[in-house]
Chains A and B, each alone.
Chain A
Amino acid sequence: MSATAIRVRPRRNRGAGLGLAAWLLGILFFLPIAWMALTSFHSEEDAATNPPSFAAALTLDGYREFFGAGGGASPWPALINSTVASVVSTLCVLLLAFPAAYALSIRPVKKWTDVLFFFLSTKMLPVVAGLLPIYLFAKNTDMLDNIWLLVILYTSMNLPIAVWMMQSFLAEVPVAVIEAAQIDGAKLPTVLARVVAPIALPGIAATALICFIFSWNELLFARVLTGVVAETAPVFLTGFITSQGLFLAKVCAASLVISLPVLAAGFAAQDKLVQGLSLGAVK
């Protein structure tokens, strides 16, 4: 006991040092985002100075410009498209994944691990591997520039992750509770809706948020398959790729506004984020 007591003091000092190091690294990683936020509130003249102006006057001009006050394209159609594609595809994913996860965890079908790994393997098939046939199909069926095509593709993109995540969440529902409900005469849909869903709700919510994030972020499908009408927010952002410093505050405002839903969803799902991103393999 006395030996450990002697060691406590240096340990605590070093602990403080390591805490400080963590803080410094955290700030360093956040610095680009903080700088982007600050720049978005500067006038374009103040934004494009070297050395940077930390104390320049704040203004909302960047945001006004982004929302189309300066006669540029309005971001609203793109934001609405992204919202529709992300929300609807997330709902479709939940609708398909929930029964599948039930069949894989609570009353598992034979060879359930094989089925689970099939879902995972589709996630490892690179997007580019199927992009051309999908493009040709869309072109020949007049589905190009159609937001519903993106809804279908985003559903397929997120379904494997959702099945894996939900499988692990549903496995945590005690079987005794389900059986008790069944003895009381409840049919399967009732059991799912009234017993399983409420218990697994936090997990289902986290799954939904992660699917939303991935859909909202997606660029390649949207870039290739949409154009004018069905353009999504990331495609809208690509309009700034070549802007040579004329609209720095506007670029920052645009990037922040479009990232905001993802930042909010990500912080909300923080605890379950790891499990989702690692396809349920890590808790």
Chain B
Amino acid sequence: MTATTTAPIAVPSVRAAKRPPGRLRAWATRAPLLPALIFMIVVTQLPFVATLVISFFDWNSLYPDARHFAGFANYADVLTDPDLRRSVWTTVVLTVAVVLASLVLGLVLALLLNRTFRGRGIVRTLLIAPFLVVPVAAALLWKHVLYNPEYGLLNGLLQYVGGPQPDWISNTPLLAVEASLVWQWTPFMMLILLAGLQSRDPQQIEAARVDGASDWQIFRHLTLPHLRRYLELGALLGSIYIVQNFDAVFTLTSGGLGTANLPYTVYQSFYQAHENGLASAAGVLVVIGSIIIATFALRVVSSLFREEVSRA
């Protein structure tokens, strides 16, 4: 699909005078690209092929001699084992909830920050900060400093108003993980949507306002359609990162209480249970899920990209 893009070939060169013959020249233009390309293929594609192969073997690393070809048995296990199936579902719920919530919050913040007001730069800086805290540190912050039932800030503030003192992580484990991730990812969504808002043509809005359009009409008919691709981009990039989330699950609950998502399960099944075959099959399933998301993501990114190319 991308091959059809009309590439803006930067310039048919001036070096025409002493140009080497065709094939040599083709390799000369390709040469700067090759180190990066080869490196990526070796470091990312080869291991995945190996994972694919291992996923068809019954292989526990504690019993290496019992290793044998098992066909699709591992996949059947992953999809029928209640724990594993639950982690597939957890991954879906976690990703959808975090992406949607952070997208809506991010949109509100982006709209607020798109106006001029005193101290806008400071507010923007304050808002970006959660995204910049090291993810493990952020998860520790939520686990110990905010959620802790005895001395955490949340219950401390509730104490002031005489509220209840819930044990957040035990009572609502998945929600606790989600809240911490929404806090980290809202700034990311805000940044992308803010960039979208600022790429809007101000004259168009001015014209609509002169024609008597209300703020809501402008938002509904001008801003939202314009933001659509940015919303899609934020949702898809967010999904790609959050589907893979490991740090928050590992730190906050160690995968307990029904919060184990697929990446955590894969980690656990080979690192702790030594089930190499099973872990690989689960890993391949994560990839299939990601490919489904990525297909959409690539389409969105390439349409944005094409727009930019044609503008150039």
Contact = CB atoms under 8 A, between A and B. Distances in A.
Interface of A: 15-16, 18-19, 21-23, 25-27, 29-30, 32-33, 35-36, 39, 47-52, 96-97, 99-100, 102-115, 117-137, 152-153, 155-156, 159-160, 163, 171, 175, 179, 182-183, 213, 216-217, 219-220, 223-224, 233-234, 237-238, 240-241, 243, 245, 248, 251-252, 254-256, 258-259, 262-263, 266-267, 270, 273-275, 277-279, 281-283
B119 interface: yes
Given A32-B183, A126-B243, A126-B244, A99 B39 contact: no
B259 interface: no
Contact of A125 (B142, B280, B287): B287
Interface string B147-164: 010111101110110000
B97 interface: no
A124 B240 contact: yes
A187 to B, nearest CB: 11
Interface residues of B, number: 120
Contacts of B46: 133
Contacts of B145: 32, 35-36, 39, 248, 251-252
A176 B211 CA distance: 44
Interface stretch (B66-74, B76-84, B186-194, B217-225): B186-194
Contact of B250 (A15, A159, A163, A238): A238
B287 to A, nearest CB: 5
B213 interface: no
A16 B117 contact: yes
B208 interface: no
Given A22-B109, A103-B29, A282-B195, A29 B143 contact: no
B96 interface: no
Given A129-B283, A262-B134, A277-B188, 16 more contacts: A16-B117, A25-B112, A29-B126, A29-B183, A33-B133, A107-B13, A124-B240, A129-B48, A133-B48, A175-B10, A219-B250, A245-B144, A248-B144, A248-B145, A258-B134, A266-B128
Q: Tell me if B's interface is mostly helix, strand, loop or mixed.
A: helix
B2 A113 contact: yes
B150 A48 contact: yes
B94 interface: no
Contacts of B267: 128, 131, 220, 224
Interface of B: 2-3, 5, 7, 9-11, 13-15, 26, 29-33, 35-37, 39-40, 43-48, 50-51, 54, 108-109, 112-113, 115, 117-120, 122-138, 140-146, 148, 150-153, 155-157, 159-160, 183, 186-188, 191-192, 194-196, 199, 230, 233, 237, 240, 243-244, 246-247, 250-251, 254, 262-263, 266-267, 270-271, 276, 279-280, 282-284, 286-287, 290-291, 293-294, 297-298, 301-302, 304-305, 308, 312
A281 B47 contact: no
Contact of A29 (B130, B141, B276): B130
Q: Tell me if A's interface is mostly helix, strand, loop or mixed.
A: helix
A222 to B, nearest CB: 10
Given A129-B284, A134-B47, A171 B128 contact: no
A128 B129 contact: no
